[in-house]
Chains A and B, each alone.
Chain A
Amino acid sequence: MNATRLRLVLLRNAPVALFIVVLAVFGSLSDRFLDAQNFTNILIQASHIAILGIGMTFVLLTAGIDLSVGAVMYLSVALLGIYLADVPPLLAVPAMMAAGALFGLVNAFFIVRLRVAAFIVTLATLFIGRGLALWVTETRMVFYKDHILSLARAEWLGVPWAIWVFAIVFAAAWLVLNHTPFGRQVYAVGENPDAAAKAGINVPLVLTAVYAVSGACAGIAGFVSITQVGAAASSFAMEKEFAAVAAAVLGGVSLFGGRGGVAGTVFGAVLIQTVQNGLVIVNADPYIYPLVTSSIIFLAVFVDSQRSRILERLGRRRIRIEERPV
């Protein structure tokens, strides 16, 4: 194996290496960090971003973007707190998913039918969603009843409830993307929409569906998040759309469509949360949290671009074999 190939292998596994470095650094700084309970906490804390990111992955795979997901989270918990306060979670969650999916369909209408850029449409609906939520809540903080708050500590088979939801959403998304015709068509549309249309794929339908999936995931993420936060202020889920995109990109999902998958996104979300958790445990200054997190995201994206460059160089055709390699 020559030097270039070796570098390539290192770069390909860079996110994993990064994860190990993060574990080693925080582990050496605090003995509470490398603890099973702490890992459970990390997974619980990462769950809503991971779920949001999973929905975002569907959209990113089609080369779109959904900036409205944080707003949808807020809107869905506002609806929960105001209109569904006494409804059992098993009915409330599907209702929130439906509300999110409906919101996604509105996004899709503008993006697919009226052909407005996804960035613009979802930037607008971000503010519309927040505005609707403020209107529903009459700008007041919303509090939740015990049957919802108690879920924060609820477990099944010894595993916390939030992790179950996280795992189910991940498994479902993975199955859909990898093992259903729809999932593979999402990849096809993201790679080349013109070719997809010519091949007979219903491109508008696929695009519409991914925004609905993203909205529905935001509804679930809202529910998971509210069980942990306990109350929804007007800043609830603010800027979560960027955390979701960051998780996906960190996990290797391309913003240009067609590349990556939900496993990467989940990995990205967990990595970001691990760093944040570590910073809390070592009592770091809260003001440096964003700096550290963003540096890690930058590093991962930088490494990925380096890898693409090397791959491109390796792929270049050789015309002649030199007698003595230079």
Chain B
Amino acid sequence: MALLDCENLRKSFFGVEVLHGVSFSLDRGRVLGLVGENGSGKSTTMNILGGVLRRDGGRIRLDGADYEPRGPKDALARGIAFIHQELNLFENLSIEENLFITGFPRLGAAIPFINRGRMRRRARELLEQVDIRHPPGTPVGQLSQGERQLVEIAKALSVDARVIIFDEPTTSLTRREADRLFGIIERLRGRGIAMIYISHVLGDVTRICDDITVLRDGAVVGGGPVAQMPTERMISLMVGRTLDQLFPERTATPTDTPVLEVRGVSQPGVVHEIDFTLHAGEVLGIAGLMGAGRSELARILFGLDSFKTGTIAVDGVAIEAPSPSVCMDRGMAFLTEDRRGEGLMMHATIADNIALASLDEYASPWTRFVERTRLGDEVGRIGQKVRMRAADPMATLVRHLSGGNQQKVVLAKWLLREPKVFILDEPTRGIDVGAKFEIYKIIDTLVADGAGVLMISSEMEELIGLCDRILVMNHGEIQAEFRRGDFDSGRILEAAMRRRGTEAAAAPAAAMREAV
């Protein structure tokens, strides 16, 4: 008998059914990969399991008994732990306090004080199980993202979780940290803990899961042991058609007109002698491992961070004192890798977000008031251009949108300014396959209209599928350049991991994300 058995789960929001009878089961010591596009019902299903939402129909049996959680705390008490994409940790508290925040060991039943000694001993045991070597009293704020994830797992172990749900656990991890996480998952599997693993990174799913269940539009559309579910099959089930191409046909070819010229840009400790030219109509990719200096370069180019030597020129004219506003005036646009934190006002409407970078252009020359009708029309036009799917851009809040639609909002915001140079930092991170394709199409339209796109990505296939040229960064330097036609993922990877001097090439071969 399966440990967890979900049968015919149904859920409606405001009278609209979003889960139409989802069924799956999970055995002890197995890892179930749950894949599907955003909005396919993965989160809703997991929120029901984790006690965040209540189901409208169907039944769940946990270890043979009916399972009806009244809330997250109740779910946890029954042994189901949900590790959310945004971690629930308190940076100002120590690791041990985070582990026991809702169930501190006390000095006695009637004594309200925390038993620090017992807490420390219990914390040590738990941290050992997830290979964290920091003392339990270390503030969580000092841990890396990967270590924080492991603390969350230790927290689940502290309540003897039988089922652990991971929701996109690797989005903010380096490859090495992700590998460490997978090692722990492996170990937990050996101890008989059942896990549900949600991710868009299908390479990871294939690597660590035993079984796969594919969701589409609130229903299970396929599944089975991982051996019978190659990546292509997962994708075709997810999108409901065979994707004969993951990337759109490029409609334009690069011109010889330079739009962005970077000459000898260096900043000690960050980047060294960066030299390249971006042309109108060109998509120029920057490949590299995490920490190669790609995002840092992007920030320097957009005037967010300073640099010591070198010049940056747009349209042949050097930018004297770079700052974001100067760079914007000169026709640059920058999509940050942290869409939620830096790219969007999550609690504002779609329209307000799109208008943000262009308010000056739409101010009346006399009163300096924003001309709302003119702006509104333009926002509507741009929204159509990026194929925004939202009922009412003036009323819908950005935080209610899927990752793909949020990224479209950011793109629309910049499109409104009609820039010549786009710097895109991981534009498709955490976005499902269908929405990725649409982002690619938007990028293609941008360059067809004569802009130049500098695209940073950790997904090799994406760079190879979309770019005209690829620069490889490593150690804050450009190591290699590849032109369309002789793209070779092996050689690109080799350049990305090449080490200088005495340092051994110790980076694991899986260091590059092999995602869809």
Give residues in A with beta carbon < 8 Å to B: 175, 179-182, 184-185, 187-188, 190-192, 195-196, 198-201, 258-259, 317-322, 325-326
Contacts and interface: CB of A to CB of B under 8 A. Distances in A.
B456 interface: no
A258 B93 CA distance: 9
Interface stretch (B288-296, B361-369, B443-451): B288-296
Contact of B270 (A179, A259, A320): A320
Given A188-B90, A259-B92, A326-B308, A319 B291 contact: yes
B88 A320 contact: no
Contacts of B71: 200
Contacts of A181: 104, 106, 112, 114
A191 B269 CA distance: 32
A192 B101 CA distance: 13
Contacts of A184: 93, 97, 101, 104, 114
B270 A319 contact: yes
B90 A322 contact: no
Contacts of A258: 90, 92
17 contacts: A180-B113, A181-B104, A181-B112, A181-B114, A182-B112, A184-B104, A188-B93, A191-B93, A192-B88, A192-B90, A195-B86, A195-B89, A199-B101, A317-B296, A319-B291, A319-B292, A322-B269
A317 to B, nearest CB: 7
Contacts of B245: none
B476 A320 contact: yes
Contact of B269 (A187, A198, A320): A320
A318 B97 CA distance: 31
A317 B295 CA distance: 11
Q: Which 8 A/B pairs are nearest by Cβ-Cβ distance?
A: A200-B73, A195-B88, A320-B476, A181-B104, A319-B293, A258-B92, A319-B476, A191-B90
Contacts, number: 82
A323 B296 CA distance: 20
Interface residues of B, number: 35
Contacts of B91: 191
B269 A319 contact: yes
Contacts of B104: 181, 184
A319 B91 CA distance: 25
A320 B475 contact: yes
Contact of A199 (B102, B106, B116, B296): B102
Nearest to B272: A320
Nearest to B112: A180
A187 B114 CA distance: 15
A180 B293 CA distance: 44
Nearest to B294: A319
- Give the one of B89, B90, B106, B476 with max A CB within 10 A: B90
B248 interface: no
- Give the one of A191, A258, A319, A320 with max B CB within 10 A: A319
A198 B270 contact: no
Interface of B: 71-73, 76, 84, 86-93, 97, 101-102, 104, 106, 112-114, 116, 268-272, 291-293, 296, 308, 475-477
A320 B475 CA distance: 5
A200 B102 contact: yes
Name the prevailing secondary structure of the B interface residues: loop
Contacts of B87: 195
Contacts of A198: 72, 84, 88
A180 B114 contact: yes
A180 B104 CA distance: 8
B168 to A, nearest CB: 16
A318 B270 CA distance: 6
A201 B101 contact: yes
Given A179-B114, A319-B476, A325-B268, 17 more contacts: A175-B113, A181-B114, A187-B93, A188-B97, A190-B92, A195-B89, A198-B72, A199-B88, A199-B101, A258-B90, A259-B92, A317-B291, A319-B271, A319-B475, A320-B269, A320-B270, A326-B308
A201 B89 contact: no
A195 B86 CA distance: 9
Contact of A185 (B72, B101, B112): B101
A198 B113 CA distance: 24
Nearest to A180: B112
Nearest to A325: B268
B101 A188 contact: yes
Contacts of B92: 187, 190-191, 258-259
Nearest to A192: B90
Contacts of B114: 179-181, 184
A258 B90 CA distance: 9
A326 B90 CA distance: 37
B90 A320 contact: no
A184 B113 CA distance: 11
A253 to B, nearest CB: 12
A198 B296 CA distance: 34
Contacts of B97: 184, 188
Nearest to B500: A320
Nearest to A324: B268
B161 to A, nearest CB: 14
A188 B86 CA distance: 16
A321 to B, nearest CB: 8
Contacts of A321: 269
A10 B112 CA distance: 38
Contacts of B106: 181
Contacts of A259: 92
A232 B452 CA distance: 73
A179 to B, nearest CB: 5
B157 to A, nearest CB: 15
A321 B272 CA distance: 11
Contacts of A320: 269-272, 293, 475-477
Contacts of A188: 90, 93, 97, 101
Nearest to B142: A315
Contacts of A325: 268
B268 A322 contact: yes
Given A184-B101, A185-B101, A318-B269, A195 B90 contact: yes
A289 B327 CA distance: 48
Contacts of B116: 179
A201 B102 contact: yes
A199 B72 CA distance: 8
A307 B411 CA distance: 36
B186 to A, nearest CB: 27
A114 B102 CA distance: 25
A279 B71 CA distance: 58
A21 B232 CA distance: 71
A82 B268 CA distance: 71
A321 B308 CA distance: 16
